[in-house]
Amino acid sequence: MTFTELKYKKNLFGEDGYVKCKKDGHECVVPMKLDNADYKEIKKQLDAGEITITASD
Amino acid sequence: MSTLKIKGTSSGEVVLSANADGSQLSVDQKIIGANVNNRPNPAPLIINGDMRVAQYSFDTSFTKTGVNDHSGGAVTCIDRMYTGITDNGTFTISRDTDVPTGYGFVNSMKLDCTTADTSVAAGSFHTLEYRFEGQDTQLFKKGTSNSYAMTVAFWIKSTVTGTAIVELADDDNTRHIAKTFTVASANTWEKKVLSFAADTTGTLNNDNGRSFRINIFLGAGSNLTSGTLATSWASRTTANIAAGQTINAASSTDNNILITGLQMELGEYSSTTIPEFQFEERGASLRRCQRYYQHHVGSDSNCAGTAAGGFRTNATAQMTFHFPVEMRADPTVSQVATDNMLCHDLADGNNINVDSVESTIHSSTGGITVQFTLEGTSGNAGDSCHLIPTGSTPGVTFSAEVG
């Protein structure tokens, strides 16, 4: 899976709760939950230094 | 109390016991035979094993685009069926109507090789995978003295003949067992039945994570074939995963492989004793699939629902989606294509194109509120609205697939 244009998004409580990105070219919003398969993969690639995520507004 | 016994000619026993006081008969039915199976699971262990549900197929990019290089595995256009292809050709995967005749199947999964790989690199492989959540494997009793043997069956039709591997993988304890099967005749439906011993070592986690997989290998490089096939349960060793594999589905762009009737039973069965495939009515199968993937605001029969909400600003709208089935996890939300939905303003009747998913406001396994960016600035903040599908690939998808 290829993730591009990643940016944190805040939840209702003003905390980073989601990552907006393009997954294999498709725009999507991924919850920051480790049982979500996409976030698990994002975290893996982030920890490996393969991707970066822009800070939320 | 009197007892009446009825005995069959070859198998089966039904005992009717009449009470002296005339109260209701009690019936003790003991079925001893091959044709009826007293399964511990009320529904098929494999969801969508008959390949009928293909929610992803509305999105032509999913059906047509070749699948390759998915290190973590990727779901195919057939619900619940994953593929793991690492540098071993490219395939178009689709739902087909070519099925074994006379067994009740109407669909199969077709893999059509579009880019060949005639020399499989050492670390390359191609698998079809079925993934179980841990909480759905507790009835296997794995890791206990009561652990079940397991039997996997499926129909396959392949232009490529040779030997291939089915592996059962315990992801919680990094253990596995594997067996070979042979595709004997090209372009002919063949039923494969493989039984696997029980494993009294390694219990499976009782959670929503991936605990157990069935891997059908359609290609494997020497890193996976250089050892000795693990025909007994053992710690998972890469070299022992697919020893003996000769089939390479990517050997030619002429290759087509079709599979249907993926079935798993608890207990040890042969090709003559395995129970018939346990069909589910389509609605039940679709609902089970929707735990992992849902498509809303679509225009086909798979569409799970619609959405209503309001304009947040003149350029954004927030919509709430209620899931008809609890999803496995908080899902990833994705708009299939730009301008594939209209935001209908209930106050003035205007329809405004929906450009993109902007963010998620709140999500759970039961529902989600999503903020969309609209085309232009003609929305009326505060007005109620709902989404209408438009174009050839309308809608929003929610994915909670097993990673």
B331 interface with A at CB cutoff 8 Å: yes
Which amino acid is it at B369? T
Question: d(Cα B124, Cα B340) in Å, to the nearest integer?
Answer: 38
Distance from CA of A24 to the nearest CA of B (A): 11
Token pair 């399964």 is found at B39
Say which of A1, A31, A40 has its CB closest to residue B360: A31
Q: Is the dihedral of CA B210, B333, B93, A40 positive or negative?
A: negative
Could you count the other beta carbons within 10 Å of the beta carbon of residue A26? 17
Question: d(Cα B142, Cα B144) in Å, to the nearest integer?
Answer: 6
Q: Encoding tokens for residue B231?
A: 């025909």
pLDDT > 60? residue A54:
yes
Cβ density class B180-201: b for 16+ within 10 Å, e for less: bbebeeeeebbebbbbbebbee
How big is chain B, counted in residues?
Answer: 403
pLDDT > 80? residue B67:
no
Distance from CA of A29 to the nearest CA of B (A): 5
CB-CB neighbors (< 8 A) of B326 in chain A: none
Return phi, psi of residue A39, to 5°.
-65, -35
Question: d(Cα B91, Cα B113) in Å, to the nearest integer?
Answer: 4
pTM of the full structure: 0.89
Q: How far apart are the first and last CA of chain A?
A: 26
Q: Which of B334, B335, B358, B393 to mutate to test the interface with A (most CBs of A within 10 A)?
A: B334
List, as ranges, residues 27-56 from A with C-beta within 8 Å of B. Answer: 27-31, 33, 35-41
User: pLDDT tens across B101-157, in order?
Assistant: 999 999 999 999 988 999 999 999 999 999 999 999 999 999 999 999 999 999 999
| Residue percentage of chain A with pLDDT more than 90 | 82
Token pair 């042979």 is found at B182
- ipTM summary value: 0.96
**Binary contact (A29, B360; C-beta < 8 A):** yes
In this prediction, residue B76 carries a pLDDT of: 75
pLDDT > 80? residue B68:
no
Q: Which of A27, A33, A39 to mutate to test the interface with B (most CBs of B within 10 A)?
A: A27
In this prediction, residue A23 carries a pLDDT of: 87
**Binary contact (A41, B72; C-beta < 8 A):** yes
- Indicate the average pLDDT of chain B: 89
**Binary contact (B328, A9; C-beta < 8 A):** no
Q: Is the dihedral of CA A43, A44, A48, A52 positive or negative?
A: negative
**Binary contact (A29, B331; C-beta < 8 A):** no
B357 interface with A at CB cutoff 8 Å: yes
User: pLDDT tens across B307-344, in order?
Assistant: 999 999 999 999 999 999 999 999 999 988 888 899 99
pLDDT band at A46 (very low <50, low <70, confident <90, very high): very high
B7 interface with A at CB cutoff 8 Å: no
Greater confidence (B300 vs B77) lies with B77
Name the strands in the sheet holding A16-23, side by side, starting at the edge strand that comes first in the sequence: A3-10, A16-23, A26-31, B332-335, B396-399, B293-296
Q: Which of A7, A28, A39, A40 to mutate to test the interface with B (most CBs of B within 10 A)?
A: A28
Reported as half-sphere exposure (CB side, CA atoms, 13 A), residue B37 has a value of: 19
pLDDT > 50? residue B2:
yes
User: pLDDT tens across B168-186, in order?
Assistant: 999 999 999 999 999 999 9
For residues B203-209, average pLDDT: 97
Question: d(Cα B311, Cα B99) in Å, to the nearest integer?
Answer: 49
Token pair 């591009």 is found at A4
In this prediction, residue A1 carries a pLDDT of: 77
B320 interface with A at CB cutoff 8 Å: no
For residues B257-266, average pLDDT: 98
Q: How far apart are the first and last CA of chain B?
A: 58
**Binary contact (A27, B333; C-beta < 8 A):** no
**Binary contact (B334, A12; C-beta < 8 A):** no
B70 interface with A at CB cutoff 8 Å: yes
Q: Are B372 and B317 a contacting pair, CB within 8 Å?
A: yes
